[in-house]
Amino acid sequence: MSQFHAIVIGAGFTGVAIAHDLALRGFRVTVVERGPIANGTSGRTHGLLHSGARYAVNDQESAIECIQENQILRLIVPDAIEPNGGLFIAVDESDLEYREKFIQGCEECKIPIRELTPKEALRIEPNLNPKLLTAFTVPDGTFDPLRLALAFAATAKSNGAVFHLYTDVVDLLTDGQGNIKGVKVWNRANDKRFEIEGDIVVNATGAWVGQITSMAGIRVPIAPTPGVMVAYDKRLTQRAINRLNKPGDGDIVLPQRRMMVVGTTSFSIEDPDYVPVLPDHVALMIERGSELIPALRQTKERGAYMATRPLIGSGAPGRSISRTFKAYDHKETDNIEGLVTITGGKATTLRLMAEKTVDLVCKKLGVNVPCTTAETPLISYRKFYVD
Amino acid sequence: MSEEKWTVNFVVYRKKGDGEPHYQTFTLEVSPDEYVIDGVERIWAFHDRSLVFAHACHHSTCGACGMRVNGVEKLTCITRIRDVTKNGGTLRIEPLRNFPVISDLVVDMSRLYVGMDKVHAPAVHPLSLAPLEGEGIKPPRDVPMDGGKEYLRLADCIECGLCISACPVAGTAEEYLGPAVLAAAQLQGLKRAPDLAEVVDCVDGVWRCHSAYECTAVCPSNVDPGWRIMDLRRQVLAQRIKRWFGGA
Ligand SMILES: Cc1cc2nc3c(=O)[nH]c(=O)nc-3n(C[C@H](O)[C@H](O)[C@H](O)COP(=O)(O)OP(=O)(O)OC[C@H]3O[C@@H](n4cnc5c(N)ncnc54)[C@H](O)[C@@H]3O)c2cc1C
Ligand code: SF4
Ligand code: FES
């Protein structure tokens, strides 16, 4: 077992999964998060445990990762997942033209689907658009965003990881040659400032990774790209409902407890710290969502919110350990030792992102311990608060 | 959402470490159709980076954003500013009661989680255990279930702590299990989970409740804990009677 000390910045899905993996592989782990767990993009997702079918035509690498991780998460963290299944439905001719490609893509990615007649689909989901032309079942699910993150954090904590919440990383510590040897932090709960030294700093701040790397004078080509989601006050389906077409705006309608959540959109901004929920995007959600489930029009809005993806610029330098997310070893890209940045991916693939990132960290430090997170059930999310 | 703009004074409870608590006023221009959490987040983003507050999902599924808004427990992410103040009005934002304050608007809710663990409250359970009266969809009857198994649901209770904050008894009796925990026991039922009787049939269990129903008034997530506590009492009594008449 290694006794290296790893500092993880950010406790969104990426950060908590990395903390868990590092702790299992014997690292001493400290997590620094400026808010509570999952206050950034991670808390504010739809909550769709992707089957991968959404990506089966255009992005098969993502699709395969999703279906594999979907199956793993159901086993290791059943507490945070409602295995309610999903449907892809066609409501117009253009959707129907996508049908062949969809069937072929899902087969290539080994995503189990089954076609239903419109009558069958309406029998199991009576609130679907009665004009639907065809439907496919897929193994989607709904996850509870906070409890998914908490389960990873709780397990990391039980294996020794230390969490500093409400604590901002305000600067990076360097060795005089520009190499990173720790972080300077500000605990806002008690207004204390202090330093933490470590052997490696993992920057898992999602849409904010650029703010951290700029503390080391490094620019990363990440564009914060938010999207809006709207929750409606009634549960209208058992399953996650997706539009049978290439991914677009407002084409996912997800049941979440007693609600339906419609999302999402995409626009660019400069600063991800505060993003307004744009009224015209909210209007678009009801427009698009009701094409799949007309009864949404008669349902009251319960909440409207946004989350910010870190979109990776094209031609971004740095080694791509996967095309679907990006990890930079800043030794390779900028000749700065001690700092790794990870960004991109999906909630559904959090475990895999962590595995790849910790593999990279282990290789850098010469640690030879395999990843075991796929076989390790997580403990109850409540244990994060209660020892 | 309209183009309408309101000016609202957010009077926010502040506390750091061992320092004295005080209130600080931030005057914000808001849309009345925004939610209270949007205003709080903007205070942090544009006025005072030292503000500490909790939130995650912004759509009432995580239970993190509970606060007292003008003296009433609210999930701030689904509380429209229009519904709790007026143009030129005030929003007094305070942390939940009956939990220790960590800082500013954040409290330590471990009391709730310990209780939920004590009654083994399931976070995901069969659809038939979800109280569907009045609201929501029914399980499809004529369709084979998931490989012969029942559909599962994320539990209604989001463990937000609003009920404990609103409960007049929880403030004086620190050991009281509290509404959410007793509701979680009722939902499982003493028939299905007889071991729970031991946990809830005691002074700090069902008998502590004074039937104020404040919990039901503030619960944002269809749990109706007040009614469930009364029902759990009936279950406890039924079980006692069964025991007296020669049961195990
Ligand atoms: C609109 C939208 C909908 C989505 N829906 C889904 C979905 O349904 N299913 C799915 O699988 N995926 C979905 N995703 C993708 C998924 O949400 C993201 O991939 C994931 O949440 C990213 O997590 P993260 O940990 O990298 O980032 P974040 O969750 O943003 O975590 C970064 C953390 O870093 C912290 N931080 C920032 N700066 C500092 C600092 N200086 N010091 C300390 N901490 C700091 C932040 O507070 C934050 O908590 C969606 C994404 C978007 C944008
Ligand atoms: S019973 Fe209602 S108010 Fe109490 S914690 Fe659960 S959801 Fe919140
Ligand atoms: S932020 Fe999740 S319930 Fe309000």
A215, A327: one domain: yes
Q: Which of A280, A312, A344 is the last residue of a domain?
A: A312
Task: Name the residue at shortest CA distance from atom 3 of ligand 1.
Answer: A45
Q: Which of B59, B91, B107 is the last residue of a domain?
A: B107
Closest alpha carbon within chain A to B76: A303
The tens digit of pLDDT for each residue in A35-71 reads 999 999 999 999 999 999 999 999 999 999 999 999 9
The tens digit of pLDDT for each residue in B153-174 reads 999 999 999 999 999 999 999 9
How much of chain B exceeds pLDDT 90, in percent?
81
The tens digit of pLDDT for each residue in A282-314 reads 999 999 999 999 999 999 999 999 999 888 775
- CATH code of the domain in which B15 resides: 3.10.20.30
- CATH code of the domain in which A269 resides: 3.30.9.10
Nearest ligand 3 atom to the CA of B56 is 1
Answer whether A206 contacts ligand 1 (Cβ < 6 A).
yes
pLDDT of A320 reads: 45
Q: Give the list of residues 6+ apart from residue A330 with CB closer than 8 angstroms, or none.
A: A180, A213, A216, A218, A336, A337, A338, A339, A340, A341
Helix (H/G/I), strand (E/B), else coil: B199: helix
Q: β-strands A48-49, A222-232: how paired? A: unpaired
How much of chain A exceeds pLDDT 70, in percent?
97
A153, A182: one domain: yes
* 8 Å CB contact between B163 and B224: no
- The lowest-confidence range among A120-124, A226-230, B131-135 is B131-135
Mean pLDDT estimate for chain A: 94
Name residue, tokens 């929750």. Answer: A231
B56, B168: one domain: no
Measure CB to CB from residue B57 to each of A44, A191, A236 and give the nearest one. Answer: A44
Which residues form the domain of A111? Answer: 87-138+223-312
pLDDT of B143 reads: 45
**Rounded to an integer, what distance in angstroms lies between the CA atom of residue A288 and that of residue A292?**
7
Q: In this structure, is residue A378 part of a structural domain?
A: yes
How much of chain A exceeds pLDDT 90, in percent?
87
B187, B75: one domain: no
Largest CA distance in chain A: 70
B191, B137: one domain: yes
Q: In this structure, is residue B128 part of a structural domain?
A: yes
Q: What is the pTM of this model?
A: 0.96
Answer whether B179 contacts ligand 2 (Cβ < 6 A).
yes
Banded pLDDT at B16 (limits 50, 70, 90): very high
Mean pLDDT estimate for chain B: 91
The tens digit of pLDDT for each residue in B25-67 reads 999 999 999 999 999 999 999 999 999 999 999 999 999 999 9
Q: In this structure, is residue A317 part of a structural domain?
A: no
B85, B145: one domain: no
Domain count for chain A? 2
Q: In this structure, is residue A73 part of a structural domain?
A: no
pLDDT of B248 reads: 52
A202, A263: one domain: no
pLDDT of A371 reads: 98
**Rounded to an integer, what distance in angstroms lies between the CA atom of residue A114 and that of residue A128?**
17
A217, A150: one domain: yes
Banded pLDDT at B223 (limits 50, 70, 90): very high
Q: In this structure, is residue A80 part of a structural domain?
A: no
Domain count for chain B? 2
Q: Which of A312, A336, A351 is the last residue of a domain?
A: A312
Q: In this structure, is residue A57 part of a structural domain?
A: no
Q: Which of A269, A285, A312 is the last residue of a domain?
A: A312
Banded pLDDT at A362 (limits 50, 70, 90): very high
φ and ψ at residue A234, rounded to 5 degrees: -155, 145
A230, A109: one domain: yes
Q: In this structure, is residue A24 part of a structural domain?
A: yes
**Rounded to an integer, what distance in angstroms lies between the CA atom of residue A347 and that of residue A339?**
23
pLDDT of A319 reads: 44
Over residues A153-165, the mean pLDDT reads: 98
pLDDT of B138 reads: 55
Q: Which residues pair with B179 in a beta bridge?
A: none
Over residues A221-246, the mean pLDDT reads: 93
| C-alpha B243 chain-centroid distance | 34
Please tell me which residue, A69 or B135, carries the higher pLDDT value. A69
| Closest approach of A364 to chain B, Cα-based (Å) | 34
pLDDT of B129 reads: 74
B178, B235: one domain: yes
B114, B47: one domain: no
**Rounded to an integer, what distance in angstroms lies between the CA atom of residue A48 and that of residue A82?**
10
Q: Which of B81, B107, B133 is the last residue of a domain?
A: B107
| Closest approach of B49 to chain A, Cα-based (Å) | 8
Q: Say what the ipTM of the complex is.
A: 0.95
The tens digit of pLDDT for each residue in A188-231 reads 999 999 999 999 999 999 999 999 999 999 998 888 889 999 99
**Of B34, B36, B41, B59, best ligand 3 pocket probe by most atoms within 8 Å of the beta carbon:** B59
pLDDT of A4 reads: 97
Q: In this structure, is residue A53 part of a structural domain?
A: no
Residue A297: closest CA among A258, A267, A260: A260
Q: In this structure, is residue B1 part of a structural domain?
A: no
B131, B57: one domain: no
B96, B133: one domain: no
pLDDT at A77 over 90: yes
**Rounded to an integer, what distance in angstroms lies between the CA atom of residue A245 and that of residue A134?**
12
The secondary structure of chain A, three-state, reads CCCCEEEEECCCHHHHHHHHHHHHCCCEEEEECCCCCCCCCCCCCCCEECCCHHHCCCCHHHHHHHHHHHHHHHHHCHHHEECCCEEEEECCHHHHHCHHHHHHHHHHCCCCCEEECHHHHHHHCCCCCCCCCEEEEECCEEECHHHHHHHHHHHHHHCCCEEECCEEEEEEEECCCCCEEEEEEEECCCCEEEEEECCEEEECCHHHHHHHHHCCCCCCCEEEEEEEEEEECCCCCCCEEEECCCCCCCCEEEEECCEEEEECCCCCCCCCCCCCCCHHHHHHHHHHHHHHCHHHHHCCEEEEEEEEEEEECCCCCCCCCCCCEEEEEHHHHHCCCCEEEEEECCHHHHHHHHHHHHHHHHHHHCCCCCCCHHHCCCCCHHHHCCC
Structure tokens at A317: 């330098």
Name residue, tokens 């199956």. Answer: A71
Using a CB-CB distance cutoff of 8 angstroms, which residues of chain A are in contact with residue B58?
43-44, 303, 305
The tens digit of pLDDT for each residue in A318-331 reads 444 455 788 889 99
B13, B69: one domain: yes
pLDDT of B2 reads: 63
- CATH code of the domain in which A373 resides: 3.50.50.60
Q: Which of B44, B78, B107 is the last residue of a domain?
A: B107
**Rounded to an integer, what distance in angstroms lies between the CA atom of residue A154 and that of residue A165?**
13
Q: Cα separations (Å) of B196 from A275, A293, B202, B248?
A: 46, 41, 11, 15
B96, B154: one domain: no
A265, A377: one domain: no
Cα of A232 vs centre of ligand 2, distance in Å, is 19
A133, A231: one domain: yes
pLDDT at B139 over 70: no
Name residue, tokens 């427009």. Answer: A287
Which residues form the domain of B158? Answer: 110-244
A285, A177: one domain: no
The tens digit of pLDDT for each residue in B92-114 reads 999 999 999 999 999 999 999 99
* 8 Å CB contact between A356 and A60: no
Q: In this structure, is residue A58 part of a structural domain?
A: no
pLDDT of A326 reads: 83
Cα of A38 vs centre of ligand 1, distance in Å, is 7
B30, B101: one domain: yes
B96, B122: one domain: no
Q: Cα separations (Å) of B19 from A186, B94, B95?
A: 17, 16, 16
A248, A375: one domain: no
Banded pLDDT at B136 (limits 50, 70, 90): very low
DSSP summary character for residue B80:
B
Sign of dihedral through CA atoms A283, B221, A274, A19?
Answer: negative
